[in-house]
Amino acid sequence: DVKVTQSSRYLVKRTGEKVFLECVQDMDHENMFWYRQDPGLGLRLIYFSYDVKMKEKGDIPEGYSVSREKKERFSLILESASTNQTSMYLCASSFSGAQDTGELFFGEGSRLTVL
C-alpha cells in the first residue's frame, strides 16, 4: 500500500514562529502536493513539486515556502506563522506522466493552531 506520512498530526505554535511540516512518501512518486483544508472552503493547493528541487505555486502560496531535497520528502515551511494560517494541512503524492491517473494519495493531515 502507498503510504504518505506526515510527521506531526497536531501542532500548536505562536505567532511569528517558523514552522516546518514534513511529509514522506514511500511509492517513488514524482509529484508531491501541499493542500490547506478549511471548513466550507474545501481543499486549496498551496504548492506542488514534480521533481526534486522543482516546485510550482498553487492557488494560495502567499506566506508559505516548500523544499524538496529528496524525492520522497516534501516540506512545507511557514516562515513567520500567523493566526490566519491555523488550519489542516494535507500532503499528497502521485505518479507523473503516463502513470498519472489523477489519483492522489493523501497523508492523514497536520492540524496546525497558531496562537
Residues that bind another protein (CB under 8 A): 4, 31, 33, 40-43, 48, 50, 56, 90, 92, 94-96, 100-104, 106-109
At closest approach, how far in Å is the CB of 16 from another protein? 29
By three-state DSSP, how is residue 96 classified?
coil
Q: How far apart are CA 99 and CA 115, in angstroms?
A: 42
Cβ proximity to another protein, 28 vs 108, nearer residue: 108
Choose among 89, 84, 111, 114: nearest CA to 14.
114
C-alpha cell at 103: 489519483
Looking at the Cβ atoms of 78 and 92, the one nearer to another protein is 92
Q: Write down the least CB distance from residue 100 to another protein, Å.
A: 5
| 8 A C-beta contact, residue 68 and residue 32 | yes
17 or 58: CB nearest another protein: 58
